[in-house]
Chain A
Amino acid sequence: MTDISDRQQLSYIAAQAADARVNLELETEGMTLNIGPQHPATHGTLRIVAKLDGEQVIAADPVMGYMHRGYEKLSEVRTYPQVTTLINRIDWLGSFANEVPFILAAERLMEVEAPPRAQWIRTILFEMSRIANVVLFLGDMAVQVGAVTPVFFAFRDREHILNQIEGATGGRFHPNFDRIGGLKDDLPAGWVAETKQVMKKMRAFCDEIETLVMGNEIFQARTRGIGVIPADVGLSYGLSGANIRGSGVDWDVRRDNPCGLAYDQVDWKVWTHPDGDSFSRFWVRLQETREATKIVDQLLDGIPAGPIMAKVPRIIKVPAGEAFVETENPLGVMGYYVVSKGDLVPYRVKIRSASFNNMSITPWLLKGVYVPDIITILGSLYFILGDIDR
């Protein structure tokens, strides 16, 4: 049976040629669609050059850098305390979380450690900025799928948490509250009780989103099985945060390496979802927001007494050396690699932000999907353009 007669082979070739001719006749003209730089679904100035066959994507390439601001280079001419004013603008939705890893890196170089009270307050504000960030995602994901109402609810409830951040730090978007060796101020009176109320509201918001968005059949039909990232592919592209936990990888820097933050003092859980599709990323973020409110609640109960500032010189000169500190930011793992030569300014700062790596999988992921799915997949990957273009 291994032999194929010439006759059979000829007919096989003829059939293939006929197929090729039909394919050529039925071939449709491709279309290049520029999604962005100004498009409601790109969260800023991202451009995706999509080659379409009808509504199906043949190839999609993200073009970024439209709002590159050169933070790494600017940091080299700013003193260490001044750098925080830049870097909390990277991910503007959860800005306090950006400050922390840089300050931790500088503290590691200077070999100082913030007092326990400062660590706890840092962790509280860190988690609150996570909630402020992810709440917007939870509402915005519905917009990507076509429902506009949840995002208004998200903005309404985000106010509460921003009010609390403002109450503690004085800034709504750019707190600039971290100092090397501790924090700028102590918490104001009555803040703890108010924050507990706000956490209750955020849990109610999560319940609302769960019934309004996640429970919706159309939402599930639009997100389940769409944009599936297998765990090994996700890891090879350097995905982090909820994007990789949505693929079932149990990796959370908060738990695995809580350097200088109080995560090991409280009881909490890392959520993962095995499916790796858009829905599971949404699910993981929703659970994480709930978990964050619980972390904040527990931390608020046991803030240790004591100073909020370690003893550091008035003019900060960081000894020569290099340090890399990463934390689990709202969008994923964010790290700062700081090199010092013993000056007032860092010699070199390299920022490893989560969104850039999370974005890198899009050409692989968008191949073969439909145009509406581009939007849901981009939405579920959840990037902030400031976090991509630094």
Chain B
Amino acid sequence: MSLLAELSYWQQTSIRVGAGLVAVILVAGTLVMLHLFKLVSFMQSRLGPMEAGPFGSLQLLAEVGKHLQKEDIVPRKADKVVFAAAPFVVLASTFLLVVVLPGGPDAWFIQNDLGIYLAMAVSSVSVIGILMAGWGSANKYSLLGGLRATGQLIAYELPLILAVVGVVIQAGTMNLQGIVYQQANGEIFGWDGLGNPYILTQFVAFFLFLTAMQAELTQTPFDMPIAESELVSGYMTEYSGMRFLLFFIAEFATAGVFSAIAAVLFLGGWYVPGIDPDDNIMNVLGPLVMFVKVIGLTFVVFWVRFTFPRFREDQLQRIAWKFLIPLALLNIVVTAIFKVWI
């Protein structure tokens, strides 16, 4: 990205926005293709995604074509501006998350000393988008879904952030690039062959992060706002065609982006053991390494999603406040003690 220094500010910005959008949509598409169409189809004995094109490879195009053809319906009593803006707010939150992710020693959009802080702050914007969708739809199911989403997403923001705090304490930096370097140059009991991916020392935080992430993504077992069997897809009930597709892209892209953040925090990000992290080859290899780690983590997300039943609202809140948050606080205390004394 140092090449960008030659360009003027607006040129840099438009390139970054374009690349970010491509990153969002490409990642979302790949995840839909790999996980939803292939993996889940095999898990659930679905036949559709194996028919279109060789090995079902054209299914994604067929789906996009289907959604493009659909009529764009806005309910008569809907708050039209809010209704129309909601998918973009959700997608914007995803898009802003992408910009802090590092892909290699020089491959990054922005490098900020408050990287993970920014990411956590921006991720909560999607709550507003979902609440807008729920409120603006003029549908009681959507309203219930929107209100549930608010309760759920705000509750799970806390364990998510508290899980990150452990990593930040151990790494001593909030810069995501810095966290990657800390893991790459770290050592476990004096042995530095593997670096120190924080999954080994922060496994509690990793578990907390994955759990809270599942809730932040509104995936089963924490899919209260969507709840297709009771709330008929909740805040998405009234969305059709392209607008629905925007929500769909945002859902999958956010799963990818959150997995990428988890990969950076716990799996060493773009770093791979055995190659010097400052080697220029990592600018090419780094994004691929990231991608593999992201696919691995999203596999877990969707595997859980298509296996587990759904909690009830009160049970969900109980898990967040009585189990996850105390555990996260304990993890912070233990990490701090280790950090100071050892």
Contacting residues, chain A, for B220 (C-beta < 8 A): 146-147
A55 to B146, CA, bound (A): 13
CB distance from A33 to the nearest CB of B (A): 5
CB distance from A119 to the nearest CB of B (A): 37
Contact A55 B229 (CB under 8 A): no
Contacting residues, chain B, for A219 (C-beta < 8 A): 309
Range of interface residues on chain A? 20 to 34
Contact A372 B45 (CB under 8 A): no
Contact B229 A144 (CB under 8 A): yes
A374 to B312, CA, bound (A): 11
The answer to whether the Cβ of B221 comes within 8 Å of any Cβ in the partner chain is yes
Contact A146 B46 (CB under 8 A): no
What 1/0 mask marks residues of chain B from 94 to 115 whose CB sits below 8 Å from any chain A CB?
0000000000000000000000
The answer to whether the Cβ of B140 comes within 8 Å of any Cβ in the partner chain is yes
Contact A148 B312 (CB under 8 A): no
CB distance from A38 to the nearest CB of B (A): 9
Contact B313 A370 (CB under 8 A): yes
Contact A147 B308 (CB under 8 A): yes
Contact A148 B140 (CB under 8 A): no
Contacting residues, chain A, for B67 (C-beta < 8 A): none
A144 to B232, CA, bound (A): 11
Contact B46 A40 (CB under 8 A): no
**A interface SS class:** helix
The answer to whether the Cβ of B16 comes within 8 Å of any Cβ in the partner chain is no
Number of A-B contacts (CB under 8 A): 78
Contact B314 A146 (CB under 8 A): no
Contact B221 A218 (CB under 8 A): yes
The answer to whether the Cβ of B257 comes within 8 Å of any Cβ in the partner chain is no
Q: Which residue of B lies closest to A220 (CB)?
A: B309
Contacting residues, chain A, for B43 (C-beta < 8 A): 149
A192 to B274, CA, bound (A): 63
| Interface set, chain A 34-69, CB cutoff 8 A to B | 39-41, 55
The answer to whether the Cβ of A317 comes within 8 Å of any Cβ in the partner chain is no
CB distance from B217 to the nearest CB of A (A): 15
Contacting residues, chain B, for A149 (C-beta < 8 A): 43-44, 306-307
Residues of A within 8 A of B (CB): 31, 33, 39-41, 55, 142-149, 152-153, 156, 212-213, 216, 218-219, 221-222, 370-375
12 CB < 8 A contacts A-B: A40-B229, A143-B229, A146-B223, A148-B44, A149-B43, A149-B307, A152-B45, A218-B310, A221-B311, A221-B312, A372-B230, A375-B229
- In addition to A370-B314, A372-B227, 14 A-B residue pairs with Cβ atoms within 8 Å of each other are A33-B140, A39-B232, A41-B230, A146-B221, A146-B223, A146-B229, A147-B220, A147-B309, A149-B43, A156-B45, A213-B309, A218-B308, A371-B144, A372-B230
Q: Identify the 3 closest CB pairs spanning chains A and B, nearest first.
A: A146-B310, A145-B309, A152-B44
